A = this chain, B = another copy of it.
Amino acid sequence: MAEIHFRDIQEAHARIRPHVRRTPVMTSARLNELAGAEIFFKCENFQKTGSFKARGAVNAVLSLTDAEAARGVATHSSGNHAAALSWAAGMRGIRATVVMPRTASPVKIASVERYGGRIEFCEPNHRAREEAAARIVRDTGAALIHPYNDPRIIAGQGTAAVELLEDVPGLDAVACPVGGGGLLAGSAVAAKALLPAIRVLAGEPEGAADASLSLRSGVRRPVENPSSVADGLLAFVGDLTFPVMQRHVEEIATVTDASIIAAMRLLFNVLKIAVEPSGAVAYAAVSERRLRVAGKRVGVILSGGNVDLERMLG
């Protein structure tokens, strides 16, 4: 099984740096007071394509040989990875084919189209998505770029934590959302390599708590019918990301949809920024004091900002 080393993340960083944004780190005395901790927000909502997914996608696309790239890339995703991969492929001038469920939101379809991705619709279930993607790979020779269970993706996602620790040295902890675990695994490897004493934490939606469950059980265990307002975090933790989490992640807290919405509103009202539900999950856990960071300096990754305004009202 492919291991992820810090040197992969460093190489990814060098590779993607000209193409992604070095997102800012924001702070707020008022939010610190609320959480009883000193929070440094890494604003990946300002990242290209509106989420950290741009990092992994462009790393994967730029890692292809010219021969591989010529056959294009493919993925199945209804969310931020689809848009990010379309954008990254467009930058390299190659084709991206994205399998999306017929039921995907118009906003997300429009976003993939804006970045030049070619969409193939399928029935809205996991099996149909995987089969459609496999067929495209078979027919076109496109490289399959999985949303999280891919070493190139994990290495790319880890670059956000590298920047955060460059900008705010000596953090006591770093917290990020967990869905399939690409961001969490990448962040964990980066943070522990740069600062072995750092604690790696995560927030997970209560209705899709397969990562918490799996860590407790010691084996990957899906939950049935995962459901949450954090629509980017419904994926099942991967067999590449899970061992990294077992080794490096100290704590995962689950949060309710209500607390995710409350966190989004606080970020909007105080920091004046748009963060999508999935992007606010780690902050929700910190702000509700469900992670042990009292009095500590904690980096919180706000992973994306692609939210429909209407959804902000919960």
Contacts and interface: CB of A to CB of B under 8 A. Distances in A.
Report the 7 A-B pairs with minimum CB-CB distance, sorted nearest first.
Answer: A272-B305, A272-B274, A45-B272, A268-B274, A309-B312, A273-B273, A46-B272
A272 B50 contact: yes
Contacts of A274: 268-269, 272-274
Interface residues of A, number: 17
A240 B235 CA distance: 60
Integer count of this chain's copies in the complex: 2
A18 to B, nearest CB: 16
Contacts of A265: 309
A222 interface: no
Interface of A: 24, 45-46, 50, 265, 268-269, 271-275, 305, 309-310, 312-313
Nearest to A114: B30
Contacts of A45: 272
Contacts of A310: 313
Nearest to A265: B309
A265 B309 CA distance: 8
A300 B309 CA distance: 23
Given A24-B24, A313-B313, 8 more contacts: A268-B274, A268-B309, A269-B274, A269-B309, A272-B273, A272-B274, A273-B273, A274-B274
